[in-house]
Amino acid sequence: MHSEYDLICVGSGIGGCAAAAAAADAGARTLVLERTDVVGGVTAVSGGQIWIPGNRWAAALGIADTAEDGARYIDAVAGGHNDPARTRALLGAADEALDLFTARGLELRVLRGLPDYYHPDVAHSTAEGRYLEPVPLPADALGGWAGRLRRTAVWSMGGDGGGTTPAAELVTGQALAGYFLRAALGAGAQVMTGARVTGLRSRDGAVTGVVLDDGREIAARLGVVLATGAYDRNRELVHRFEGVLDDHGTGSPPGITGDHLGMAAALGASIRALPAARNTVQVGFPTGEPDEDGGPRYRTHWVVHPHEIIVNAQGARFADESFYPAINAALHHLDGASQRLPNWPAWLVYDHDLAERGVVQVDPGRVVSAPSVEELARRAGIDAAGLAATVAGYNAACARGRDDAFGRGERPWTLWMSRLAGSGTGPNPTLGPIVRPPFHAARLARVQAGLGSAGLEVDTCARVLRWSGGPIPGLWAVGNATARDDMGFSAQSGTSNLRGMVQGYRAGRSAVS
């Protein structure tokens, strides 16, 4: 490692590596700093999807679509929380970014049959074509870095069918992280692990380098790109920006602690937050196992299965359990009269048919069981009459084959995901009655996935903006470190990887221009 570079990228996920590749490809001496001992960040534990309207792979399949159609779709579902100009700037730059990264070896393919979240209800949505996933990447394509990429058990969503990752092959998020790491290394960027950045150097208001936790300073002639992710592992920031705090966990790797907010705020950076009810927080459980930080490991309960429902303390269902944005929004519902959240805490209630399948990955000590629904409610602290009535109503819906209360399992996106996961069979694979004792209840936790409601405000070149207006010279931020006013929330999976790729590309090119 040298004492001076042209550009320093803090974080080794898609955003940091994209920025490093874009700058190094243009001749800049570039360094990627990763605070943990393995690279890939949140990208490596993601589903690996990139959502790109009007992409070249869909066009090759004869699927008609444009970036403008995608932007109009985002305008419709963002609830006024996107800046239309920034939406169009982001989507409009995707093809240019892809030119560089495909030339550097990135291979993507369309996830056939996977529709937009809100298709067909929202204009400009599509039945397929916008979701892309990485083509499986041989691990040895990374050379000596193969053993330093974050590796976890993942599930393939593509045309090869579901399955766990073979040791010699990278799929989904690992493959995506691998492609962008390879692009950065191939362009000439250097990568250093075990290097936590704790501060920014500046001179006359311009960022000139970084300070590491061991006191070392590294100069950056052109500046610094913050690609540090969100703040899942910082309880103070979660409490400040996400609302519901108790029973909170994350599926993100260590290091996602919001360092970018403090470092940039010291230079007058603008921090912008969207309503937490529109975030893509999911529900799940602590598994009873420790994670890499020694705390409890959490898993999302991301696909609804037959023989289960989600209820509040009154024993009532309150959302379509098959669509996680609906669950998260309902959890934030505030009763103005009592100033309480009536749908939190919440429980997963299920019967023994589901328990035997082993799909509820939860610490056994968190589960209560009983021979009857009424006794289960009493043991769990749920209203017994309310739960009994809810289970009876849900079972009647299963007999009809339709959930008239919330439309569970009727969204095309939900059906695609449920069938992929093998949830059930029949026209609506999410429905199945709760009838076989013993019955079980597990109190749910909220599990973040690397996305925060707040982030640094940036312009279309990913330059960090001041509260007082105008960019901070020499400072860029990309991906989940930035405010989501370009795409809004609850819009689509795959938009975070899109933002990381495009913002990283724009930051790297902006730095060297």
Residues 323 and 469 grouped into a single domain: no
**Pick from 189, 158, 193: nearest CA to 176:** 158
Q: Which two tokens stand for residue 452?
A: 């925060």
Reduced to 3 states (helix: H, G, I; strand: E, B; else coil), residue 42 is: helix
CB atoms within 10 A of CB 494: 23
The C-alpha atoms of residue 155 and residue 423 are separated, in whole angstroms, by: 14
Q: Which pLDDT belongs to residue 2?
A: 77
Q: Domain for residue 238, yes or no? A: no
3-state secondary structure of 211: strand
Domain limit, last residue, from 448, 467, 500: 448
Domain boundary among 423, 448, 473: 448
Residues 52 and 174 in one domain: yes
Identity of the amino acid at 223: G
8 Å CB contact between 12 and 221: no
Confidence at 44, pLDDT banded by 50, 70, 90: very high
Residue 212's CATH number: 3.50.50.60
Specify the pTM.
Answer: 0.95
What is the C-alpha R_g of the chain?
A: 23
Residue 41 within a domain: yes
For CA atoms 354, 356, 357, 359, the dihedral sign is positive
* Structural domain for 293, as ranges: 282-448
Place of tokens 């990763």: 34
The closest of 412, 365, 379 to 115, measured between CA atoms, is 412
Q: Are residues 348 and 482 in the same domain?
A: no
Which residues, including other chains, have CB under 8 Å from residue 438's CB and lie 6 or more apart? Answer: 352, 369, 370, 371
CATH number reported for the structural domain that contains residue 372 in this entry: 3.90.700.10
Together in a domain, 443 and 478 = no
Looking at the structure, tell me whether residues 384 and 496 fall in a common domain.
no
Nearest CA among 446, 449, 414 for reference residue 429: 414
How does the average pLDDT of the chain come out, rounded?
Answer: 93
Residue 251 lies in a domain: no
The phi and psi torsions of 419 (rounded to 5 degrees) equal -70, -35
Share of the chain above pLDDT 70, in %: 96
With a CB cutoff of 8 Å and minimum separation 6, the contacts of 222 are 6, 7, 23, 28, 474, 511, 512
Res 167: pLDDT = 65
Does residue 388 sit in the same domain as residue 419?
Answer: yes
Question: Are 157 and 299 in a shared domain?
Answer: no
Phi, psi of 216 (to 5 degrees): -65, 150
Q: Give the bridge partners for 217, in sequence order.
A: 211
Q: In this structure, which amino acid lies at residue 55?
A: N
Token pair, residue 132, equals 């892309």
User: What pLDDT is attached to residue 363?
Assistant: 92
CB of 448 closer than 8 Å to CB of 283: no
* Cα separation, 326 vs 323, whole angstroms: 6
C-alpha–C-alpha distance, residues 445 and 357, integer Å: 21
Residues 479 and 404 occupy one common structural domain: no
137-153: average pLDDT: 91
pLDDT on residue 293: 79
Q: Is 204 exposed, middle or buried (0-12, 13-18, 19+ CB in 10 A)?
A: exposed
Q: What string of DSSP letters covers 220-237?
A: EEEEEEE-----TT-HHH
pLDDT in tens, 428-454: 999 999 999 999 999 999 999 889 999
Domain contains 260: no
Is residue 330 located within the same domain as residue 478?
no
Is 126 domain-assigned?
yes
* pLDDT tens track for 303-346: 889 999 999 999 999 999 999 999 999 999 999 999 999 999 99
pLDDT at residue 426, rounded to an integer: 81
- Same domain for 90 and 222: yes
157 and 226 share a domain? Answer: yes
- Measured in residues, the chain has a length of 513
Per-residue DSSP letters for 170-182? E-HHHHHHHHHHH
Q: Answer whether residue 65 is part of any domain.
A: yes
Pairing of strands 30-33, 4-10: parallel
Domain edge (last residue) among 410, 429, 448: 448
Average pLDDT over residues 208-231: 97
Residue 268 in any domain: the answer is: no
Nearest to 61 by CA among 6, 120, 131: 131
Do both 338 and 477 map to the same domain? no
Whether residue 236 is contained in a domain is answered as no
Q: What domain count does the chain have?
A: 2
Residue 422, pLDDT score:
79
